[in-house]
Structure 1
Amino acid sequence: MLSKISSRSLQYVFAYLFVLVSLYPIVLMVSSSLKTNAEIFTNPLSLPGSFHFDTYRKLWEAVPFADFLINSAVVSVTSVVLIAVSSSMAAFYLARFSYRWTGWLYFFFVMGLMIPVKLGIVPLFLLMKKLGLLNSLWSLILIYTASGIPISVFILTGFFRTLPVELEEAARIDGCNHFQVFWKVLLPLIRPALGTVVIINFIHAWNDFFFPLIFIQKDTLKTIPVGMMVLFGEYETDWSLLFAGLTLSALPMIVVFLLASRQFMEGLTAGAVK
């Protein structure tokens, strides 16, 4: 009994230590956004002596942060919706229909995991130029959607294959067609996998710096990672404004992670067939 209690206590100790180590950078970022530059340089690891919320007001005056935030939200949300819809339907087809070309089609999606998208930056730039999508948010949306579909199809196909076929058979006996089986029966059961897909692709689209730097030149269309670069001066940098911008940009990711992780943790398939 004592050994079980001691082992459980050690598990809690390690869990709390892991939580503290994980949360410390976030706490440091938030506290630095409430400091002045002098406090950041003199006491970088301490809590602020007094809270200065003027930093956030100065941030909105120094850069068009609202435009950066809206652009990042439009690109990330649209990309995630397109990825979730297209990859879930493709994964349902690959997992539940067996034709001669199904294996090759699945291999085609898996190949997307092996080839880095950045290797084709020159052809992509020329393609976007011919399509007239340079300095357009649609260039980023299309690239993020295309690059996010392979990993999403890979995850969702494996999850679809774990679902019992008896659920579909029962639905077809009740008169459901293929789309109704997908939409009403199987889609609610893959919400844990969809949560994983949403988290992966939203964080990638929200934090990406490379493609917005290449395809977006207008200041009003820049996303947060590229737009925040204007805060880095040639001779000096206002670190309090930078940390304030990082804090505001991290809030949507934290919210999405909390919502999607809850879906990920739910065992919706448990007890589906009784």
Structure 2
Amino acid sequence: MPSSPASRKPPLLNRPQPLGVGPGLGRAGVHALLLAYTLVALFPIALVLINAVKSRAAIFDDPLSLPDAASLSLVGFNKVLAATHFAHYFGNSLVVTLGSLVLILLFGAMAAWALTEYDFRGRRLLGLFMAFGIMIPIRLGTVSILELAVRLDLVNTLTVLVLVYTAQGLPLAVLILSEFIQQVPGELKDAARCDGVGELRIFFQVVLPLIRPAVATVAVFTMIPAWNDLWFPLILAPSEPTRTVTLGVQQFIGQYVTDWNAVLASLTLAVLPILVLYALFSRQLIRGLTSGAVK
């Protein structure tokens, strides 16, 4: 007598597997991989911070050990802050970075708004020009930039660094912000226009608040290269009044003898602002990077 369909048992291969085994192992592997990458990325920073407060002998004896009562030394910080104009260098880097960051975010957001919202002649050509700005490094035009700076009498000024970093960061800012502006619902903009709101108010009061994660992402991606750059400060503004933090660190590095206490102390003072700003904007940065990944 044939058995009823309800009494038949499913084949062994079709039985559902216990929940959490496969996805759990995969999730654990991903977390282990990310943890290993995090340790590798943070190891150089931790090594600099640990050895910055140790004596020179302790640095060479055991660079991986934590400072104790015998090896603790702040001679590097004393030398950097007392014997050099490090505070002035720090102020120059702050002015250059914040100035270029403001211009990049302002002009980049406005250019992205124009390229995505309005249809005008040459729009595709301008977008292609911005794409070339990402693919071609700005350092290839160093000679032309130097010649232009000499003609405009901008050599050894902070203005030339702000302009160069603004030109360097604008293409990426326009590309990222354009993608986010396209995701803003058109109904919001149309409703504002029906209420008589001007285009500038729509841009600043409707669009910008909705793309804050993208703005934070652009800020981090453009702030770090400008702060850490050595190439253009060395070529365009190497004088003492316009020297930046990265360029100021080089004075402790000699051909035969390097003052490692001062180098590590200056690197610590230079990296702390970036770490603090990254910690403040990390949530917005992650939201900007993962936006649109999950629908």
Match of 1:47 in 2: 66
Normalised by the length of structure 1, the TM-score is: 0.91
After superposition, the Cα gap between the structure-2 partners of 1:148 and 1:2, relative to the gap in structure 1 and judged at 3 Å, is: closer
Instruction: Look up the match of 2:9.
Output: none
Please give the per-residue CA displacement for 1:70-97, whole angstroms capped at 9, x wherever unaligned.
0000000000000100010010010011
Counterpart in 1 of 2:187?
166
Matches of 1:5 and 1:100, distance apart in 2: 53
2:31 pairs with 1:22: no
Identify if the C-alpha distance between structure 1 residues 253 and 177 changes in structure 2 by more than 3 Å, giving closer, same or farther: same
Query: Cα 1:13–1:103, aligned 2, differ >3 Å: closer, same or farther?
Result: closer
Give the 3 Å change call, closer, same or farther, for CA 174–265 of structure 1 in structure 2.
farther
Letter in 1 for 2:283: R
Offset at residue 8 of structure 1 (A): 4.4
Equivalence for 2:210: 189
After superposing on structure 2, the runs of 4+ consecutive aligned residues of structure 1 that deviate more than 6 Å are none
Partner of 2:56: 37
Contact persistence 2:52–2:265 (CA under 8 A): yes
2:15 aligns with none
The answer for unaligned runs of 5 or more in structure 1 is none
Alpha-carbon distance, 1:261 to partner: 2.4
Instruction: Compute the displacement of 1:14 (Å).
Output: 3.7
- AA of the residue aligned to 1:226: L
Unaligned runs of 5+ in 2: 1-18
Asked if structure 2 preserves the Cα contact closer than 8 Å seen for 1:64 and 1:220, the reply is: no
User: How many angstroms does 1:252 deviate by?
Assistant: 1.1
Matched, 1:257 2:291: no
Q: Which has the higher contact order (CA 8 A, sep 6+)?
A: 1
8 Å contact from structure 2 (residues 76, 264) kept in 1 = no
Deviation of 1:134 after TM superposition, in Å, equals 0.7
* Greater radius of gyration (CA): 2
Query: How many angstroms does 1:108 deviate by?
Result: 2.0
Aligned to 2:234: 213
CA RMSD across the alignment: 1.8
Compared CA separation, residues 181 and 136, structure 1 to 2 (3 A): same
Alignment of 1:113-152 (within 5 A): 113-152=134-173
Confirm whether residue 229 of structure 1 aligns to residue 250 of structure 2: yes
8 Å contact kept, 1:83–1:149: yes
